[in-house]
Chains A and B, each alone.
Chain A
Amino acid sequence: MGLDTSRRGFLKGGSVALGAAALPFLKFMPAQAAGDDVVVVVMGQTINSLDLHRTGTNRPSYQVAVNCYDRLVSFGTKTMPDGSLSYDYSTIVPEIAESWTVSDDGKVLTFRIKPEAVFQDGSKVTAQDVKWSFDRAVSVGGFPTTQMAAGGLLRPDQFAAVDEATFTVTLDKPSKLALPDLAVPVPFILNSKIAKQHVTDADPWAMEFVHKNTIGSGAYKVVRWDPGQQLVYERNDLWTGGPLPGAKRVVLREVPSQATRRALIERGDVQMSWNIPNKDASELDGKVEVYSTPIENAIYVVSLNYNFEPFQDPDVRKAVAYAIPYEEIFKTAAYGRGVPMWGGSGIETIDWPQPSPYVFDLDKAREHLEKSAFAGGFDVPFSIDLGQSDWMEPTALLIQEQLAKLGITSTIDKIPGANWRTASLVEKRLPLALETFGGWLNYPCYYFFWAYQEGHLFNSSNYANPEIEQLVAETLDLPVEHPDYAPKVKRMFEIAFEDLPRIPLFQPALSVAMNGATGYEYWFHRELDARKLAKG
């Protein structure tokens, strides 16, 4: 491994309090020495790459891009009603860029790079680095390229390094999504000088090297990575993207067993447990710090597949919507963490998600089913993701039970991870399934773009409605302040609630438990941002 994993190197970056002379004899870090500036975080998932751009990099690994790299800009921070921190979608703040301007036609964005900005090796961050990094993001294919495209960033020729400190992005058409899309983890800036040393013909973007090494200017560098076990961040004291983190080192341990994670945080042996189950969140609340933040632009839904004959009947869909015991699901699957998405009293705002008009009412459900061509009920497989069974299984069971009362017999089918995406999103062949999608960019139109447009990835119901297609196309690039925006979006909501390809259940919450550390910040990408973490 290219990382500096030698014991001495690890220690050198470690406890400053200890004299270097003592170090070779030190076989372990005494609790006190380890205590003050080391924050230990546990999570259930695995980090499989240090490079977000790589094919196959999983979601938990995105945090490396956040913590070890900078982007041009970032979102601001706001304090939530409960006192916790959250990113602020409404403000864009500098990260590696000092300032930026948007041309009058909205097509050219010009960034000035902070003169003091340096990479972790001390070299200056230049526009060429940015250009190389952006080229990389749009060229490697897969998720990073797709995400870049969402902001209208499609080709290398759109990016230009004017001089060492000036960088421009030229859009094909103005879009409100462009600037926010530069603040997501994907367009992170690599040290192109180092990267280029590792470029080969077969590997023009130094994927192999970046996969195992962090070469950014971010708040941390990875000093140790044992895949499947742990990742150790160490503070980069040269960081210019924001105030230096309080924690000198952040140790991220992967602990697959949920019960073990809970025991660890409860006993205070770790300072943070990432993405804890709702049940633990509700029970640990009070014993340790628990932050449950409703995930923006995300809903847990029941997806009814339009390719499945009974669900082509609107009355059947409504019957299902009325047969869902929302309250119970929210209680037993979400343990009250999150925001209810049922029993809405009408579409007043353009907030998304917002409650649907449906409630649990078996009589109404029966009425609707009677009206349909499937009054006698039918059989349908009910698919859930094995990896998300903590909430999906109880939810599915509760729905199954009520559907049975209508004569709709469902069998629950747990699908393992590899197959889940294929079956639900790619092949879109699951007649009845639980689904979850959250848009990174917090606009309703963005959500509809992914989840309601024909053929799009998260439209697992094969839903197709020309009016929706039209409305999404019109609103996607429209600024929110535009007078046409609100009516069009409301109309989308109306159609969505009437057609019901996705029946909203609740808005999930991301829960994190802290015991002896501070500085948790919620991000739309739902991964750990360690840049404000401190012990205490």
Chain B
Amino acid sequence: MNRRLRAVLARLAQALPVILGVVLVSFLLTRALPGDPAAYFAGDAADAASIEETRVKLGLDRSMPEQFGLYVLQLAQGDLGQSLTTGQPVVEELARRLPASLELTLVALLVSCGIAVPLGVLAATRPGSWVDHACRLLVTAGVSLPTFFTGVALIYVFYYLTGWAPSPLGRLDFIYLEPPSVTGFFLIDAALAGDAETWFAALRQLILPAATLALFTLAPIARMTRAAMLSALSSDYIRTARAAGLTSRKILFGYAFRNALLPVVTTLGMVFSFTLGANVLVEKVFAWPGIGSYAVEALVASDYAAVQGFVLCMALLFVALNLLIDLAYSMIDPRIGFDSK
């Protein structure tokens, strides 16, 4: 166990240059953004003097290395600065918005896996059959549509026309109250509070955006499941298991599927971090108060602190996610010693 802990620390140390790179690049990228935030934030009727005043207030009058130094110093104290568009400390804002994005992404991936993995397994057990082709066409169609388009179309049909879905107003209809915050995940918090109504209300809000995202993520998961299952099913040990008389069920799930899980987990990790970043569009359509929409607004407004904070937060998530995948890997596959990577 001690060895594992050391390995985790080593991995984290390895991620350090990545984080540093992200900090530097995001700093440079934000400074390269067009526009003068001082002019933007000085307000509508500001004159040159008040813009200058704003500039000094924002610290934008200093030289670039100086600004970077200050930024890093702030970071070291855990201070991501204050967003100018929303007027809130970036840390607070991210802490509030991240659970929303994570909840949406996780539910979407859960739905997606719930559909894509069985589809992939189904297709792999009947390669070349019409089932296989149908699966392929279905998931490909899902990935072929831009998410914002799917989102608007779903709202139109399920909310506007039929009224089945609740109004696309973020995480909870306004008549409900947020459950007492423990994790920030409404589904979990509501469950913890034993509050079934709020739980269902939160779930109802989740359905359309999660479906939109899920539709988009079906393809990579299903593809990878199919490929991994095909290669697992054609392995020698499957033949051994068959020759030993094990049931088809045991062979499919106990033997082939567990082996196929490895590449699927990798893909899941990639899809997850990709989806979290691509949430932007879905969050915009569904008024979802996540970090994606936050980042877009910040970017358009050249809100340095917010953009940098967001990018850093995503990078940390990425690192954490990779660590998690590695751990999952070493759990699934005994051949991969955790420290051998």
Cα A420 to Cα B300 with chains together (Å)? 10
0/1 interface trace, chain A 257-287, chain B, CB 8 Å (1 if under) = 1011001101101100000000000000000
| In the complex, A389 has a CB within 8 A of chain B | no
Q: Is the CB of A422 within 8 A of B201?
A: no
| In the complex, B289 has a CB within 8 A of chain A | yes
Cα A456 to Cα B49 with chains together (Å)? 12
Task: List which B47-89 residues lie within 8 A (CB) of chain A.
Answer: 47-48, 50-51, 53-54, 57, 84-88
| In the complex, A145 has a CB within 8 A of chain B | yes
Cα A263 to Cα B208 with chains together (Å)? 15
User: What residue in chain B is nearest A42 (Cβ atoms)?
Assistant: B169
Q: Which of B36, B85, B297 contacts A426 (CB 8 A)?
A: B36
User: What residue in chain B is nearest A386 (Cβ atoms)?
Assistant: B300
19 contacts across the A-B interface (CB closer than 8 A): A7-B180, A27-B198, A55-B41, A141-B54, A143-B46, A227-B93, A228-B93, A229-B170, A229-B287, A254-B287, A257-B285, A259-B152, A260-B168, A263-B160, A264-B168, A387-B300, A418-B301, A426-B36, A426-B39
| In the complex, A255 has a CB within 8 A of chain B | yes
A146-B46, A257-B287 given; A269·B167 CB < 8 A: yes
Those 5 A-B pairs whose CB atoms lie nearest each other, nearest first:
A143-B43, A419-B35, A418-B35, A418-B302, A56-B41
Q: Which of A40, A142, A256, A450 contacts B43 (CB 8 A)?
A: A142
- Which residues of A lie under 8 Å from residue B175 when comparing CB positions? 28-31, 34
Q: Which of B39, B84, B286, B303 contacts A421 (CB 8 A)?
A: B39
Q: Is the CB of B287 within 8 A of A255?
A: yes
Cα A251 to Cα B289 with chains together (Å)? 16
Expressed in whole angstroms, the minimum distance between the Cβ of B180 and any Cβ of chain A is: 7
How many A-B residue pairs have C-beta atoms within 8 angstroms? Tell me: 184
A418-B35, A418-B300, A457-B47 given; A28·B54 CB < 8 A: no
Cα A267 to Cα B168 with chains together (Å)? 12
Secondary structure call for the B interface: loop
Task: List which B149-173 residues lie within 8 A (CB) of chain A.
Answer: 152, 155-156, 159-160, 163, 167-170
Which stretch of A46-54, A85-93, A130-138, A328-336 is in the interface? A46-54
Q: Is the CB of B160 within 8 A of A143?
A: no
Cα A15 to Cα B175 with chains together (Å)? 12
Expressed in whole angstroms, the minimum distance between the Cβ of B325 and any Cβ of chain A is: 31
Task: List which B92-127 residues lie within 8 A (CB) of chain A.
Answer: 93, 96-97
| In the complex, B236 has a CB within 8 A of chain A | no
Q: Is the CB of B287 within 8 A of A48?
A: no
- Which residues of B lie under 8 Å from residue A226 when comparing CB positions? 96, 289
Interface residues of B (CB under 8 A from A): 33-37, 39-48, 50-51, 53-54, 57, 84-88, 93, 96-97, 152, 155-156, 159-160, 163, 167-170, 174-178, 180, 193, 195, 197-198, 201, 284-287, 289, 293-294, 297, 300-303
| Given A253-B170, A418-B303: 15 more A-B contacts, CB < 8 Å | A27-B176, A29-B177, A55-B41, A57-B87, A141-B53, A146-B45, A146-B46, A146-B47, A147-B45, A255-B168, A257-B284, A257-B287, A263-B155, A419-B34, A422-B39
Cα A230 to Cα B169 with chains together (Å)? 10
A228-B294, A267-B160, A417-B301 given; A48·B86 CB < 8 A: yes
Q: Which of A40, A256, A418, A426 contacts B284 (CB 8 A)?
A: A256
| In the complex, A487 has a CB within 8 A of chain B | no
User: What residue in chain B is nearest A11 (Cβ atoms)?
Assistant: B177
User: What residue in chain B is nearest A6 (Cβ atoms)?
Assistant: B180
Task: List which A50-72 residues lie within 8 A (CB) of chain B.
Answer: 54-59
Total interface residues on A, using CB and 8 Å? 63
Expressed in whole angstroms, the minimum distance between the Cβ of B110 and any Cβ of chain A is: 24
Expressed in whole angstroms, the minimum distance between the Cβ of A200 and any Cβ of chain B is: 16
0/1 interface trace, chain A 308-349, chain B, CB 8 Å (1 if under) = 000000000000000000000000000000000000000000
- Which residues of A lie under 8 Å from residue B168 when comparing CB positions? 255, 257, 260, 263-264
| In the complex, A211 has a CB within 8 A of chain B | yes
Q: Is the CB of B174 within 8 A of A230?
A: yes
Expressed in whole angstroms, the minimum distance between the Cβ of B222 and any Cβ of chain A is: 29
0/1 interface trace, chain A 171-195, chain B, CB 8 Å (1 if under) = 0000000000000000000000000
- Which residues of A lie under 8 Å from residue B42 when comparing CB positions? 55, 142-143
- Which residues of A lie under 8 Å from residue B86 when comparing CB positions? 46, 48, 227-228
Q: Which of B44, B88, B96, B286 contacts A257 (CB 8 A)?
A: B286
Q: Is the CB of A145 within 8 A of B197?
A: no
Task: List which A223-268 residues lie within 8 A (CB) of chain B.
Answer: 226-230, 251, 253-257, 259-260, 263-264, 266-267
Q: Is the CB of A142 within 8 A of B54?
A: yes
Cα A260 to Cα B158 with chains together (Å)? 12
Q: Is the CB of A251 within 8 A of B174?
A: yes
Q: Is the CB of A267 within 8 A of B163?
A: yes
| In the complex, A416 has a CB within 8 A of chain B | yes
Cα A422 to Cα B165 with chains together (Å)? 42
- Which residues of A lie under 8 Å from residue B174 when comparing CB positions? 34, 40, 230, 251, 253
- Which residues of B lie under 8 Å from residue A30 when comparing CB positions? 175
| In the complex, A378 has a CB within 8 A of chain B | no
